[in-house]
Amino acid sequence: MNGLLALSRAIDAMNERIGQWVTWLVFVAVVVSALNAIVRKAFDMSSNAFLEVQWYLFSAVFLLCAAWTLLRNEHIRIDIVAGRFSKRTQTWIDVFGTVFFLFPMATLILYESVPWAWRAVESGEMSSSAGGLILWPAKILVPIGFVLLILQGVSELVKRIGFLRGVAPDPTERYHAKSAEEELAEEILKQRGEAP
């Protein structure tokens, strides 16, 4: 189990790093969108390439950050039901969902997307829009994103099995970075507690 938990930590570190880098594409997409709007309004010019770059960037964020979202336990779930169960039951639900839903769905999409992306690469597929971009870089993101998601699914499964066996911490905790408001509130409460 220790070897599997080490593999899990390596997968987590990789997806954490990828997720942190890819989130910068949101900023790039906003800049491209703003520049497109400025050029269109100021110079009455536009290009489909600007729109397609935005789509590619948002696609990259969605596909490459799906694994990061799973790592941080921020994916959509029905907490109103599962939240009433014990941590062990919640963990078993996650194991079941990973094995019978996540893995089959992600594997099927990966299986179908590899030849689809490969055909686009081989043909140098271009957008049919006037002034459009090449499509294969965007299409190749689909199998890459699902490989990352499957790997993260393996990591999450290992962590949950480790928890059920009593050798790993609770994996159902959600990642939560404190907001500036929460930090300020904690500081105020701490100061009040120290005051006579």
Per-domain residue ranges of the chain: 2-194
- Burial code (b: 16+ CB inside 10 Å, e: under 16) for 37-72 equals eeeeeeeeeebebbbbbbebbebbbebbbbbbbbbb
Amino acid 35 reads: L
Q: What is the pLDDT of residues 126-158, one digit of tens each?
A: 887 777 788 888 899 999 999 999 999 999 999
Report the pLDDT value the prediction gives residue 83, as an integer from 0 to 100: 72
**Residue range 46-64: mean pLDDT, rounded:** 87
Smallest CA-to-CA distance from 29 within 19, 20, 37 is with 37
Candidate from 86-90, 100-104, 133-137, 186-190 with smallest mean pLDDT: 186-190
Tell me the pTM. Answer: 0.80
Query: What are the residues whose beta carbons fall under 8 Å from the beta carbon of 86, sequence distance 6 or more?
Result: none
Residue 110 has pLDDT above 60, yes or no: yes
Tell me which of 64 and 180 has the higher pLDDT. 64
Report the pLDDT value the prediction gives residue 174, as an integer from 0 to 100: 63
